[in-house]
Amino acid sequence: MTAPLTDKIAQLEYVIREQMAEIDQLRAEVDALVDWIAGEKDALSALQAAYTDPRSTPTNKIRAAASAIAYERSKPASVTVIADFRSRVQNARSRTLELRKQEWTRQEQPQLDLDAPTPPTILGGDYEGEALGPEPAA
């Protein structure tokens, strides 16, 4: 064989060895992840272990952290406020009207003072000491 062809084959063999070493490393990482998942109680624990592992690659750390973040920090509660302003104003006006009606009714009714002297009758007499009705026959 010629020298350039032999050099080219040596280069290809070197590249293949490097690729096989990287494939073996990736297989080991996959096996470790599968073991973590099988040994952990939940997926979040496995993700946390993946991104805190110093042997993990930066790409794997970022992926695991990105997947875990939604479960580590709770999202603020979603609150939907449905306010019908027209009905609220109408309800407020109705309540105000009812309160005013109660106040007007209270003001229109005469206040009875039970300790006040008895007013004279239409006929001009007093209730006290007089008999009501026709006078008795003598």
Does residue 129 register a pLDDT over 60? no
pLDDT for 46: 76
Q: Is the pLDDT of residue 118 over 90?
A: no
- pLDDT at 136 (0 to 100): 58
Residue whose token pair is 């104003």: 89
The answer to whether the CB of 126 falls within 8 A of the CB of 120 is: yes
pLDDT for the residue numbered 126: 57
- In degrees and rounded to multiples of 5, residue 133 shows phi and psi of 95, -175
Q: Which long-range contacts (CB under 8 A, 24 or more apart) does 127-131 make?
A: none
CA R_g for the chain:
49
Evaluate whether 40 touches 49 at the Cβ level (below 8 Å): yes
- The three-point CA angle 125-127-133 to 5° equals 80
Q: Say whether pLDDT at 108 is over 80.
A: no
Q: Could you report the per-residue pLDDT of 37-96, keeping only the tens digit for each?
A: 777 667 777 788 888 888 888 898 888 888 888 877 777 777 777 777 788 888 899 999
